Amino acid sequence: MPNNHRNTAEYTRIFDNINKVVAALPARIAVVAVNFSKERFVKKNWVDVTSERWKASRKKKSSTLVASGRLRRSIRKVSVTPSRIIIGTDVPYARIHNEGGKISGTETVRSHTRRQHRRKGYTRKGKRVKATTVKSYRVKSFSRKYNRKFAKRQFIGQSQELNRRIDRLIKSELDKAIQGLR
């Protein structure tokens, strides 16, 4: 009889551990999904079944899709419930970069002053000196049309690789709960 009581207590402890893990799993899975999406900016690819490299950007000043870092920093948990996890971003240009496509429209440029610098270098006593002249021009407001194409550089969405990572997390957390490491 005492052995039977010990088994019941052990099973109760294991079930309690499993319940705690199941309650905490949605938040942990959301963190894995957010980190997976942010990792795309570092590796510059999308991974589903296979890895798909992003098309390189023309600008060489900064990394592809990272000028200020606003888009990458904006990826976060939107909603976490036991049955559904949503991650997303509130940056308005995120969708066109993630899905690719064309946008067109008309933009208005306000009137402003444009300054033109002219630098003329000369040498004085072996040292190079720069002389600067500045001209200012007044630019009237105007409207212009634009047509812009964006290559698809997916960083958020469904992925088999992400599903594998989530499966590994769930398995390892449940194994720890059963073994009593939690």
Which helix (H) or strand (E) segment is 38 a member of? helix 2-43
Q: Return the number of other C-beta atoms located less than 10 Å from residue 157's C-beta.
A: 13
The predicted-structure confidence for 112-124, as pLDDT tens digits, reads as follows 998 877 666 666 6
The predicted-structure confidence for 122-139, as pLDDT tens digits, reads as follows 666 767 666 667 788 899
- Between CA 16 and CA 163 the distance in angstroms is 26
Single-letter residue type at 156:
I
Which helix (H) or strand (E) segment is 140 a member of? none
The predicted-structure confidence for 41-61, as pLDDT tens digits, reads as follows 888 888 888 888 888 777 666
- Between CA 127 and CA 123 the distance in angstroms is 6
161 neighbors 94 (Cβ within 8 angstroms):
no
Tell me the pLDDT band of 162, cut-offs 50, 70 and 90: very high
- Between CA 168 and CA 182 the distance in angstroms is 17
Mean pLDDT, rounded, for 68-96: 90
pTM exceeds 0.85 for this model:
no
What pLDDT does 136 receive?
A: 86
The predicted-structure confidence for 96-114, as pLDDT tens digits, reads as follows 989 989 999 999 999 999 8
**If you average pLDDT over every residue of the chain, what do you get?**
85
Place of tokens 């933009």: 107
Single-letter residue type at 58:
R
Mean pLDDT, rounded, for 81-86: 92
| In the predicted structure, residue 75 carries a pLDDT above the cut 70 | yes
Domain ranges in the chain are: 2-100+153-179, 103-150
